[in-house]
Chain A
Amino acid sequence: MNPLCTPRDHTFSRRAFLGGGLGLLTSPLFAEAMKQRDKQVLFVWLDGGMSQLETWDPKPNTEFGGPFRSIPTSVPGVHFCELMPKLAKQMHKLCVVRSMCTKDNAHSSGVDRIQRGDPKNRGVPYPHFGAGVAKLLGPGSSGLPPYVWIKPGSGGFRAEDAGFLGPKYGSLAFGDGKPPDNLLRHPDISAEQDAARNELRQMLDQRFAKQREKRVVEANASVFDMADKLMARADIFDTSKLPERDRERYGRHDFGQHMLVARQMLEAGVRFVKVTSYGWDTHGDNFNAHAGMVPKFDQAFSAMLEDLEASGLLKTTLVICLSEFGRTPRINGHVGRDHWPEAWSIAMAGHGVKHGMVVGETNDRGTEVKAQPHDIGAAFHTWYRALGIDPMKTEFDNAGQPLPIAHDDMLPIKEALA
């Protein structure tokens, strides 16, 4: 028997938790387990722009408010659009910021500006939030790849997400939530043969490293490490053994099933899990589009919140949901809403943020943020703070040049922080 513990021994299983009964929540053992558990992030990216008016910040019965009604949530006085009935029941777990006001209304530049926190231009590409977290917090005790991305379509390694941090901190994308092709060792190759091959590779790597930049070599080696860890935990991609009820609760659509894989990744201890849903760019037929898509989002996102809370993971996981921007109040001739960075919403839950909280307010027509607007840099400050990283004291190292981890003129959204 191997006397050494495995990464899995350090993770806290939802199934084990549920098997232990709810009484475990109050036990000192549980509290200790949660204290020791690594902080994690679930980052739900709705590519394009989800309409704030059809979701988090409804303006029913107004000129730009659209056809839908608003519904009360579990927090008195807070209303969501009727398309999110499940999340309305979980508002007490959420922190919704309705005062986002960002700079870019174009996809081509906006995606990067939002995901990199739109810092001051230092002439180098900043890392995506996931890469920043991977760098600052590392893979954690699970040893699994620290920044994974579950997305529709193809997978692969995206070094560019890491910006100046170097390719080692790029995202590892799993297309359709599936493992990379040929993940498992070929059955004709024994463990001994595999170990011998790796030894040879490492030797060759050392020779290669002498003539190359350190961070490139590190990235190269880290890919093999990632593969090794994933080979040991190929089970995290498999949702087929989950109860049918779980698969139904998240929804049979691809976003629901991808969120289910994300839950498994979080349970296994992956530091940062990004889940992307494409198609949130409703320049035409906006109301019918949201009538179809938002309930699917509502279903999967609320199931995730329920499960993270049930397993205790919500105590250690920062959950973030956002888009590139919101959507225009005015409705174009194609019954669409266009890009709107001026006054939109993001939602958060879990570790480090307040629960049952709405921060900020838009005016009655949804065309302006009342009082204090918040740019994405402020959100980055907030998220890092929520994870216990002080952006005023922590810096990235860009080949010897210290750079702030979030926009140096901005501050966290204090009202949102626990």
Chain B
Amino acid sequence: MKLEPKQLTEFPSERQITAARFNHEGSILAAAGYEPAVRRWQFDGKTLTPLPSLSGFHGYSTALAFHPQQPQLFCADSWGQLRCCEGEKTIWQHETAHDGWLRQIAVSPDGKRIATCGKDHFIRVWDATSGKKLAEHDADEDVYALTMSDSITFGDMRGRIETWDLDLKKKQRTFDAAVLYKLDRIQDLGGLRVLRFIDDGKTLLAAGTTPQNGATPQSIPTILFFDTASGKLTKTVTHGTNKEGYIHDLAQHPSGCLMAVSSGTPGSGMLFLLNPADKEPFHVNTKMANCHSLALHPGGKHFVVTSTNRDSNGNGKSLGKDGQYKTNTSPLHLFEV
């Protein structure tokens, strides 16, 4: 089935957004980004209406995930805070769930547990209801991404991906995504951004970029397909030129197709839709610059892509029309499928 997404409208946002997700009912959109707060909007099928933000974070809010069946929102910041909220109310909170930058949150399919990973090399598992820490594992490297099934699968800066049963403290599988890593001079270029299971867990996707050089990274959006049972790489999909950069977010539509957004050299960015059986996307939208997140509405009729304003870069002091130093923002693009 080949979908044809159509953009309905665009909503402004005062800050840059790096992660956005709908709740299980699709009535709330929450977003993390370059501010110590989580923004929220009410969604009625046509319009995003701002709700009060969740404040009290530090540095930047970095990660969020909704409970799959309940209203709880799990969100985190770059100083290590992990919080569970219902609406504006905090249910539980750990100020230092990680030592510094908490990179991603994953929720188990039954919603009973959540897992977090961070720059402090740790993966931690928490009881979703109480916030009690259930298990932890030192991955000995900066952990960039993770996902949960019956077990936890995480990937680090160097493209080492492992599946662990943290209750038994036992490694179950290793996946080699070293192609997503490069050392350039003294810069470690970690290209992994997203881990997702598809096909009822039979296939693991590792998405991000194949780095070519450091400093101003030139790199090609990449998705690696692994057979979960054997750990073998079965397919590599790359799309775009080396200015297209990183796949920052990826979701599977209920129809089965993969939806990914990318961001590279300022001004470049893509939304592309791909049938998992194919090597080339069947739909590519390059009208949005530097896309960082894709929030798929439950049921799949809508989705939101967060991009970046087009003139986001420039050396020296760029002043806006008001004479103030310009900041960048993330327009929210609402699509109908």
- Chain A residues close to B by CB (< 8 Å): 48, 60-61, 63-69, 82, 105-106, 152, 253-255, 277-285, 288-289, 291-293, 296-297, 328-336, 338-342, 365, 367
B34 touches A105 (CB 8 A): no
Q: Are A105 and B316 in contact (CB under 8 A)?
A: yes
Q: Chain A interface: which of B129-137, B230-238, B258-266?
A: B258-266
Q: Is the CB of A253 within 8 A of B186?
A: yes
Docked complex Cα distance between A82 and B120 (Å) = 12
B104 to chain A, nearest CB (A): 13
Closest chain A residue, CB of each to CB of B216 = A283
Q: Are B187 and A60 interface neighbours, CB within 8 A? A: no
Interface contact A68-B100, CB-CB below 8 Å = yes
Question: A367's closest neighbor in chain B, by CB?
Answer: B325
CB-based contact A279/B184 at 8 Å: yes
For B307, what are the chain A residues with a Cβ–Cβ distance below 8 Å? 333
Besides A68-B59, A279-B187, A333-B309, 9 other A-B contacts (C-beta < 8 A): A68-B100, A152-B185, A279-B214, A293-B187, A297-B186, A332-B328, A333-B313, A334-B290, A340-B315
**A274 vs chain B, min Cβ distance (A):** 17
B276 proximal to A (CB < 8 A): no
The answer to the question of B314 belonging to the interface, with a C-beta cut-off of 8 Å to chain A, is yes
With a CB–CB cut-off of 8 A, which chain A residues contact B21? none
Asked if A339 and B325 sit within 8 Å, CB to CB, the answer is no
Of all chain B residues, the one with the shortest Cβ separation from A107 is B315
Residues in B with CB closer than 8 Å to A297 are 186
CB distance from A281 to the nearest CB of B (A): 4
Of the residues A253, A334, A365, contact of B325 by C-beta under 8 Å? A365
Chain A residue numbers with a CB within 8 Å of B316 are 105, 328, 338-342
**A341 — nearest CB in chain B belongs to which residue?**
B316
Given known contacts A48-B215, A67-B62, A365-B325, is B186 in contact with A296 (CB within 8 Å)? yes
Bound together, the chains give a CA A335 to CA B289 distance in angstroms of: 12
Do residues A331 and B315 form an inter-chain contact, with CB atoms below 8 A? Answer: no
Contact call B325/A280, Cβ cutoff below 8 A: no
Contact A291 B317 (CB under 8 A): no
Taking the complex as formed, is B23 at the interface, i.e. its CB lies under 8 A from any CB of chain A? no
Chain B residues positioned under 8 Å from A332 (CB to CB): 266, 290, 308, 312-314, 328
Chain B residue at minimum C-beta to C-beta distance from A106 = B315
Q: A279-B186, A329-B325 are in contact. Are A334 and B60 (CB under 8 A)?
A: no
B265, B313, B314 pick with most chain A CB within 10 angstroms: B313
Q: Which residues of B contact A289 (CB under 8 A)?
A: 187, 189, 214-215
The answer to whether B59 and A328 touch across the interface, beta carbons within 8 angstroms, is no
For this complex, 14 residue pairs linking A to B, each with C-beta atoms less than 8 Å apart, are A66-B59, A69-B59, A105-B316, A253-B186, A282-B215, A283-B215, A285-B217, A291-B142, A292-B188, A293-B186, A333-B266, A333-B308, A333-B312, A338-B315
Contacts of B36 in A (CB 8 A): 61
Collect the chain B residues with CB atoms within 8 Å of residue A82's CB: 100
Interface residues of B in 52-96 (CB under 8 A from A): 58-60, 62, 78-79
* CB-CB nearest in chain B for A283: B216
B-chain residues with CB within 8 Å of residue A68 when the two chains form the complex: 59, 78, 100-101
Report the separation of the CA atoms of residues A321 and B289 in the bound assembly, to the nearest whole angstrom. 36
Q: Which residues of A contact B16 (CB under 8 A)?
A: 331
Per-residue contact bits, chain B 222-234, to A (CB 8 Å; 1 contact, 0 not): 0000000000000
Give chain A residues whose Cβ lies under 8 Å from the Cβ of B159.
none
Q: How far is the CA of A60 from the CA of B313 in the complex (A)?
A: 22
Residues A254 and B185 in contact, CB atoms below 8 Å apart: yes
Query: Within 8 Å of chain A (Cβ to Cβ): is B245?
Result: yes
Q: Chain A residues near B309: list those with CB within 8 A.
A: 333
CB proximity of A372 to chain B, nearest CB, Å: 18
Residues A63 and B59 in contact, CB atoms below 8 Å apart:
no
Interface size range on B against A:
35 or more
Contact B216 A336, beta carbon cutoff 8 Å: yes
- Interfacial chain A residues near B214, Cβ < 8 Å: 279, 289
CB distance from A257 to the nearest CB of B (A): 11
A336 to B216, CA, bound (A): 8
User: In whole Å, how far is B309's beta carbon from the nearest beta carbon of chain A?
Assistant: 8
| Cα separation A282 to B79 with both chains bound (whole Å) | 22
Residue among B157, B307, B325 with the highest chain A CB neighbour number at 10 A: B325
**A279 vs B217: C-alpha distance when bound (angstroms):** 10
Give the docked Cα–Cα distance between A284 and B211 (Å). Answer: 12
Nearest CB in chain B: distance from A256 CB, A:
9
Residues of A within 8 A of B314 (CB): 328, 332, 338
Which partner residue on chain B sits nearest A325 by CB separation?
B315
Task: Point out the residues of chain B lying under 8 angstroms from A342, CB to CB.
Answer: 316-317
Residue of A nearest to B209 (CB): A285
In whole angstroms, how far apart are the Cα atoms of A285 and B289 in the complex?
A: 16
Cβ–Cβ < 8 Å partners of A333 in chain B? 263, 266-267, 269, 289-290, 307-309, 312-313, 328
- Does B34 lie within 8 Å of A63, measured CB to CB? yes
Q: Does B112 contact A (CB under 8 A)?
A: no
Residue B327 CB within 8 A of the other chain: yes
Choose from B101, B119, B313 the contact partner of A334 (Cβ within 8 Å).
Answer: B313
CB distance from A366 to the nearest CB of B (A): 10
User: How distant is A81 from chain B, measured CB to nearest CB, in Å?
Assistant: 11
Closest Cβ–Cβ distance, residue B323 to chain A (whole Å): 12
Contact assessment for A291 and B264 in the assembled complex, using a CB-CB cutoff below 8 Å: no
Residues B78 and A278 in contact, CB atoms below 8 Å apart: no
Question: Shortest Cβ distance from B285 into chain A, in angstroms?
Answer: 16
Closest residue of chain B to A332, judged by CB?
B313
Least CB distance from A292 to B in Å reads 4
A367's contact among B142, B187, B188, B317, by CB below 8 Å, is which?
B317
Q: Quick check: B59 and A61 within 8 Å, CB to CB?
A: yes
B190 within 8 Å of A (CB atoms): yes
Nearest residue, chain B, Cβ from A288 = B190
B186, B313, B327, B328: residue with the most chain A Cβ atoms closer than 10 Å? B186
Asked if A330 and B326 sit within 8 Å, CB to CB, the answer is: yes
Q: Are A281 and B216 closer than 8 Å at their CB atoms?
A: yes
Asked if B162 is at the interface of the complex by the 8 Å CB criterion, the answer is: no
Interface-central residue, A282, A288, A336, by most chain B CB under 10 Å? A288
